[in-house]
Amino acid sequence: MKNYKIVVSYDGSKYNGWQKQGNTNNTMQERFENVLSRMCAHPVEIHASGRTDAGVHAIAQTANFKCDTKLSPCEIKAYLNKYLPEDILVKSCETADDRFHARLNAVSKTYEYLIAVDKPDVFVRKYVWVSENKPDVEIMRHAAKKLLGTHDFKGFSTGKTKKSTVRTINWIDISENDGIIAIKINGSGFLYNMVRIISGTLYDIGVGKLEETVIDKIFETKIRENAGQTLPPQGLKLVEVFY
């Protein structure tokens, strides 16, 4: 069986996230595995760089799967694009080293959260969160510096895990254009809801609801309740995965 690496874009609006889990229906993973298993005439398992939550989008998610097919990578891409719905697009497909694993080998990922501080452009309105208040971008940028580096981000996540909650954030870039504030975050990996809680905490600091020092307190106490709101999923996009 050959190992294939694909880069995928999706509009997550109608899905319960990437990963199939328990009784959850309508996940990207199921859609891919159904089409791939039919294509190869054997069961296929697909591994993404990480799950994206319900309603979260991707510009370039990366995944890999092993399968037995006579189709070329280019033909696999065409097959997937033909049978996957219009809100999922395979941008590239190539053969990968046998040992390549999209999640385990990921070095870092970039996410982007978009906040519209005014009524947004009609053509992007479904991919932003429309805020009631206008945060101060300079205050957000200043606070964001406290998040950089390696920390235990347990207080910036929901859900329980026995695994390590230590992650490294490499950079955060906050820009503002045409009434849209974009928070771009690159890090080694992200816990459940971590980008949305970080974005919500920076937003709450930017509008004066929280003080910048709250970030130190969250790192110290590791208590999620100390952090800001979890911003809604539609404003979040997985932008790129680095290997």
CB of 54 to a copy of itself, least distance (A): 16
Q: Which is nearer to a copy of itself, 49 or 165 (CB)?
A: 49
CB of 191 to a copy of itself, least distance (A): 26
Q: Which is nearer to a copy of itself, 178 or 225 (CB)?
A: 178
C-alpha 28/C-alpha 30 separation (Å) is 5
Nearest-CA neighbor of 242 among 86, 110, 123, 51? 110
CB of 102 to a copy of itself, least distance (A): 19
Residue of 53, 68, 98, 121 with catalytic role? 53
Q: Which is nearer to a copy of itself, 87 or 176 (CB)?
A: 87
DSSP string for 113-170: EEEESSS--TTTGGGSEE-SS---HHHHHHHHGGG-EEEE-GGG--S--SS--EEEEE
C-alpha 123/C-alpha 210 separation (Å) is 32
Q: Contact positions toward a copy of itself, by CB under 8 A?
A: 9-11, 57, 81, 86-89, 118-125, 127
Active-site annotation holds for 53: yes
Which residues have a catalytic role annotated? 53
